[in-house]
Amino acid sequence: KELFLMIEAISNEKNITKEDVIESLEEALAVATKKRNNVDVRVEVDRHSGEFNTFRRWLVVEDGADFVDDDGTEFDSELHIYQADSNGIQADSYVEEEMESVEFGRIAAQIAKQVIIQKVREAERTVVVDNFSQRVGEVVMVSVKRVDRGNVYVDMGGIDGMISKFDLIPNESIRKNDRLRAFIKEVKSTPRGAQIFLSRTANEMMIELFEMEVPEISEGVIEIKAGARDPGLRSKLAVKAKDKRIDPIGSCIGMRGA
């Protein structure tokens, strides 16, 4: 019961659904039971009292089949049961039998903490991925944290990102604490956390920069038709003015042709 109250309190504090935490706790307790008894089990936590019941289970296998489990385990009577012996239970389902729950005590509390930490990280990762997935295609200002094997690792306001050496301008000198602009290229969710990949060479970055720096483009008076660049050397931009009185090329060229 104390375990359940702790989960409920931290669930509220971290804004993670209690159901998600309980389901993960059930899996964690089942793993701990398996380690002690070397059998397959399912743990069910009572959503009101916090008490849990443990069920030993056997996977139902088709009669006469050469069975190999997903993890490569061959038929084992401790883990599997043939359909003929299962009172007609469908193959790939489970036969369950309630068993005595192991008294975990301190171990249960440790497992709960691990599960909660994992859930917090997963929730944070989901938030990061959701937020930055909507920003793919944006040019952002980042701060360089370190340069390692040619790759540049940056801080994006508390979130880490990476610019691969293949997405850097050739011969560009970048040092720790430098601030630079980069194009959000891709966002991935991995077991280790959210990964944000940026680029300094993408054609889209050049187009985005022109949209940021040239008022006529940001206001929609001048339209960008196409763009291409040889990073660090030259860039080309095809533009068209919606108003014939406006010189699209002159508007995009800075002082002294810059």
* Residue 221 belongs to domain with CATH number: 3.30.300.20
Q: Looking at the structure, do residues 17 and 103 belong to the same domain, yes or no? A: yes
Q: Looking at the structure, do residues 189 and 210 belong to the same domain, yes or no? A: no
| Residue 70 reports pLDDT greater than 70 | no
Q: Looking at the structure, do residues 43 and 102 belong to the same domain, yes or no? A: yes
> What pLDDT does 71 receive?
67
Name the domain count of the chain: 3
Q: Looking at the structure, do residues 30 and 92 belong to the same domain, yes or no? A: yes
Q: Looking at the structure, do residues 90 and 6 belong to the same domain, yes or no? A: yes
What confidence tens digit (pLDDT) does each residue in 147-203 have? 998 999 999 877 889 999 998 988 889 999 999 989 999 988 877 777 899 999 887
Q: What integer is the mean pLDDT of 57-85?
A: 77
> What pLDDT does 104 receive?
64
CB-count burial class (<10 Å; 0-12, 13-18, 19+) for 208:
buried
**pTM for the whole structure:** 0.54
Compute the distance between CA of residue 22 and CA of residue 51 in angstroms, rounded to an integer.
Answer: 11
Q: Looking at the structure, do residues 29 and 142 belong to the same domain, yes or no? A: no
Q: Looking at the structure, do residues 218 and 190 belong to the same domain, yes or no? A: no
- Tell which phi-psi region holds residue 132, choosing left (phi > 0), alpha (psi between -120 and 50) or beta: alpha
Q: Of the ranges 137-141, 173-177, 227-231, which one carries the lowest mean pLDDT score?
A: 227-231
- Which residue range forms the structural domain that includes residue 139? 135-199
* Domain boundary residue, one of 159, 180, 199: 199
Q: What integer is the mean pLDDT of 91-102?
A: 86
Q: Looking at the structure, do residues 107 and 211 belong to the same domain, yes or no? A: no
